[in-house]
Amino acid sequence: MERKFIPLSVPNIKGNELEYVTQAVKDEWVSTGGSYIETFEKNISDYLGVEQAAAVQSGTAGLHLSLIQSGVGVGDEVFAATLTFIAAVNPIRYVGAEPIFMDCDDSLCIDPDKILQFIKEECTFTDGILTNNQTKRQIKAILGVHVFGNLMDMEKLVEIADQYNLKLIEDATEALGSYYTEGKYKGQYAGTIGDFGVYSFNGNKIITTGGGGMVVAKKKEDLDYLKYLSTQAKDDTTSFIHHAVGYNYRMTNLQAALGVGQLEQLESFIETKKANYDLYKELFDQNEKVEVIDFDATIRPNYWFYALRIKNDPDIQGIIQALHEKGIQTRPIWGLIHEQKPYLKAQSYKIEKATYYVKHILNIPCSSNLEQDDVRYVAECLNEIL
Ligand SMILES: Cc1ncc(COP(=O)(O)O)c(C=O)c1O
């Protein structure tokens, strides 16, 4: 029997999604108004234990609006991760600011100790303003990513942000459902601790709306204004009065209908992902050349993406090709952002671990509809190749 192709991460749409989307179509509410949008916002905020959420067109749009609302603008600077997807950095440029690229720690997330080191060695803090000594520009925010569903060290990051008057934006696009099980933020979900938290429902995320995002914020007035900006800044909906430059960033009712159905299954997706992750761990246990990277022990991760660290000096592209020939899709971790063409002139600081991980990590199939038999086949092929 021929095996079916095993993709890396694909949507899993087998719940009430079709019923809800059909209802939205039948109601003829398909655009940026309609009851599913509010239901989705309410269900997400209930799940996260926050008061409110704002549904937007994408995670990227959510990050863009969060930066605007953080007061980051032309000529400012923002601490950003180099080991991430580029959408976590581009919005810094959308607002005319510049990233300062930071290394990751062993959680693969931005390293707070290096941020602090940079501040102490390279900055001046006077009258509540943090200035980069080299560029003379003000640093206004930290935009960090909860990579692959792992969690950043928010205790340290909040401390730094409070001490140096920085806004803290959590890119939780990959981490919906991850929360702390220990420490100061025990019980709190990714995205709900900083000034803003942004989620994505892109096709490869743990739940999907095709494309879409959600924003939560510490201050209600920030979220209200962000929502206003996302809907073309309408001050008077009947006479077209606008007091700000708005955006067409609101989620549609069709996307939200899909999201309501997906959210109902989030916890079961996490259960499946955990079971498959545990099985991979067991199957690679005897292979000394590889290690399935652990999620932090002080969190309940959402197990979104599995990262396999291949020791020695691996030919990642060769491995990807060999697996492709066996009907398995895998991918390298991203290209480091400070090495990408648009960012070659940006400042970066002691990038060491990210450079190592980028050469050693392979992302392996992790869809929430992946069968255990598929996990066994992937591990068998990899154990054979390595
Ligand atoms: C870390 C990170 N940030 C931002 C985004 C952007 O989200 P979206 O695709 O919804 O714009 C993604 C994923 O696509 C991501 O992985």
Residues near ligand 1 (Cβ within 6 A): 58-60, 84-85, 87-88, 145, 171, 173-174, 200, 202, 213
Task: Identify whether the C-beta of residue 256 lies closer than 8 Å to the C-beta of residue 37.
Answer: yes
Ligand 1 center from residue 343 Cα (angstroms):
18
Nearest CA owner, ligand 1 atom 16: 85
pLDDT at residue 67 is higher than 90: yes
Q: How confident is the model at residue 3 (pLDDT cuts 50, 70, 90)?
A: confident
Ligand 1 center from residue 121 Cα (angstroms):
32
Segment 69-86, tens digit of pLDDT: 999 999 999 999 999 999
Task: Specify the pLDDT at position 1.
Answer: 66
Ligand 1 center from residue 197 Cα (angstroms):
13
pLDDT at residue 308 is higher than 70: yes
Nearest CA owner, ligand 1 atom 7: 59
Q: Tell the residue number behind the tokens 């020695």, with chain if given.
A: 312
Task: List domains and CATH numbers for the chain.
Answer: 17-263 (3.40.640.10), 266-385 (3.90.1150.10)
Ligand 1 center from residue 62 Cα (angstroms):
10
Segment 110-125, tens digit of pLDDT: 999 999 999 999 999 9
Tell me whether residue 49 is exposed, middle or buried, using C-beta atoms within 10 angstroms of its C-beta: 0 to 12, 13 to 18, 19 or more.
Answer: exposed
The stretch 362-374 carries a mean pLDDT of 97
Q: Tell the residue number behind the tokens 């039948």, with chain if given.
A: 26
Q: How confident is the model at residue 174 (pLDDT cuts 50, 70, 90)?
A: very high
Ligand 1 center from residue 321 Cα (angstroms):
25
Which region holds residue 136: left if phi is over 0, alpha if psi is between -120 and 50, else beta? Answer: left
The most distant pair of C-alpha atoms in the chain lies apart, rounded to whole Å, by 70
| Spatial CB neighbours of 363, under 8 Å, sequence gap ≥ 6 | 8, 305, 306, 307, 308, 330, 331, 332, 333
